[in-house]
């Protein structure tokens, strides 16, 4: 049992070692300035200058929230939001700590869809709505809006998970991991993308002009399917964002802001990135995310993993060694900068 326990915890301990022990990377004057401005943010001034409607502001204003989950969603995808509300997004607490799930959307292009969004927001009080039309070209704007809303209306959220609407989130395993951390600031965690290359194809919807971002590579950033920030990082990203072009993809945008604030993206293999992980109950009780989830899979997998029955060390170890792998049928021909809408 001791050998199994050691093998099971090895990767987790290694990730925590790098998270805890590496020196802070802010050394230049600009990073120090961003960090100081973030520390002194005037929330009242932010509330007076909003770039979004605040239909969900009341849900978080005075709450102590341990984990805030913001799902980047598309206006017309009401069915998927309802599935999330009935599955992993239904969790309001874990191990005695509060969890809150909200949805970030832009305005719908169709008037009928916008009316449905208005009704949905009134009913559930869990939608953050932008003042821009939701489209592939406004996904980075949506990400910035989400960060701005978090800093303004949920300043007591200790951790913030940004995730796509096709993702399964293991709320209990993620919360348990966060409770084990000893470093409580500068947390920017996910599946790290190294040497991401800007899209220079003028015909591509993700085209990034050289004059907008002249560098050959993006700095290391956490894949946009799901990544975690501590509250102080959200503030620093918000402050740094004023000088970062919205033309870059959402996840790369956050990575650029983080780098300018002296924050390093930290890797965790328990985030699946763009990959769909083949289902195994004990595996899904251990990982943080799996992508490309169908709605029926969300229902079934959530039902089985939330039944309260723990996995033995042997079961968990076996699930990680053999079945807990990316499903090849979901992984082919995919790109790192997939839209998180």
Does 309 reside within a domain?
A: yes
CA neighbor of 54 nearest in space, from 108, 102, 5, 93: 102
Containing domain of residue 270, as a range?
A: 2-331
Distance set, CA 287 to CA 96, 191, 220 (Å): 20, 12, 22
pLDDT per residue as tens digits for the range 227-275: 999 999 999 999 999 999 999 999 999 999 999 999 999 999 999 999 9
Question: Is residue 338 one of the residues assigned to a domain?
Answer: no
**Position 340 in a domain:** no
In this prediction, residue 303 has a pLDDT band, given cuts at 50, 70 and 90, of very high
In whole angstroms, what is the distance from residue 218 CA to residue 124 CA? 38
149 versus 324: which is more confidently predicted? 149
pLDDT, residue 190, reads 98
Residue 7 has pLDDT above 60, yes or no: no
Q: What is the DSSP string of 14-41?
A: HHHHHHHHSPP---SHHHHHHHHHHHT-
The count of C-alpha atoms lying within 13 angstroms of the C-alpha of 202, restricted to the half-sphere facing its C-beta, is: 2
Closest among 182, 192, 243 to 218, alpha carbons compared: 192
Decide if 21 is inside a domain. yes
Instruction: Check whether 24 has a pLDDT greater than 60.
Output: no
125 — alpha (psi -120 to 50), left (phi > 0) or beta? left
Query: Would 341 be classed as within a structural domain?
Result: no
Alpha-helix runs per DSSP H in the chain = 2-21, 29-39, 43-47, 78-86, 111-124, 139-153, 171-180, 231-240, 250-260, 281-284, 295-305, 313-321, 328-331
Report the domain count for the chain.
1
What are the distances in angstroms from CA 194 to CA 91, 118, 176, 306? Answer: 33, 40, 27, 34
Residue with tokens 């924050």: 263
**What pLDDT does residue 54 have?**
59
Tokens of 164: 């796509």
User: The domain that contains 170 carries what CATH number?
Assistant: 3.90.550.50
The residue among 187, 197, 160, 340 whose CA lies nearest residue 265 is 187
Within-domain flag for 336 = no
Residue 60 confidence (pLDDT): 81
């Amino acid at each position: 049992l001791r050998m199994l326990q050691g093998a099971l915890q090895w990767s987790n301990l290694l990730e925590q070692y790098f998270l805890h022990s590496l020196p802070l990377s802010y050394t230049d004057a600009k990073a120090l300035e961003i960090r100081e401005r973030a520390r002194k943010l005037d929330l009242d001034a932010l509330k007076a200058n909003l770039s979004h409607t605040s239909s969900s502001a009341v849900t978080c204003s005075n709450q102590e929230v341990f984990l805030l989950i913001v799902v980047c969603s598309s206006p017309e995808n009401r069915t998927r939001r309802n599935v999330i509300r009935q599955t992993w997004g239904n969790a309001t607490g874990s191990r005695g700590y509060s969890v809150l799930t909200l949805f970030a959307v832009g305005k719908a292009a169709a008037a009928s869809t916008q009316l449905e969004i208005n009704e949905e927001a009134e009913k559930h009080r869990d939608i953050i709505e932008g003042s821009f039309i939701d489209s592939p070209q406004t996904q980075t704007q949506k990400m910035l809006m989400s960060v701005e809303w978090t800093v303004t209306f949920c300043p007591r959220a200790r951790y913030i998970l940004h995730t796509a609407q096709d993702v399964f989130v293991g709320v209990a395993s993620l919360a348990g991991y966060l409770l084990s951390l000893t470093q409580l600031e500068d947390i920017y965690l996910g599946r790290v993308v190294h040497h991401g290359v800007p899209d220079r194809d003028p015909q591509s919807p993700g085209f990034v002009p050289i004059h907008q971002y002249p560098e050959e590579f993006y700095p290391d950033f956490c894949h946009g399917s799901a990544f975690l920030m501590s509250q102080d990082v959200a503030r620093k990203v918000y402050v740094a964002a004023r000088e970062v072009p919205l033309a870059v993809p959402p996840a790369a945008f956050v990575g650029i802001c983080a780098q300018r604030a002296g924050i390093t993206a930290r890797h965790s293999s328990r985030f699946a990135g763009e990959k769909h992980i083949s289902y195994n109950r004990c595996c899904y009780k251990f990982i943080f995310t799996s992508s490309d989830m169908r709605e029926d899979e969300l229902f079934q997998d959530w039902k089985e993993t939330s039944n309260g029955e723990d996995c033995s060390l042997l079961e968990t170890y076996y699930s990680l060694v053999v079945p807990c792998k990316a499903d090849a049928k979901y992984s082919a021909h995919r790109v790192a900068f997939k839209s998180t809408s």
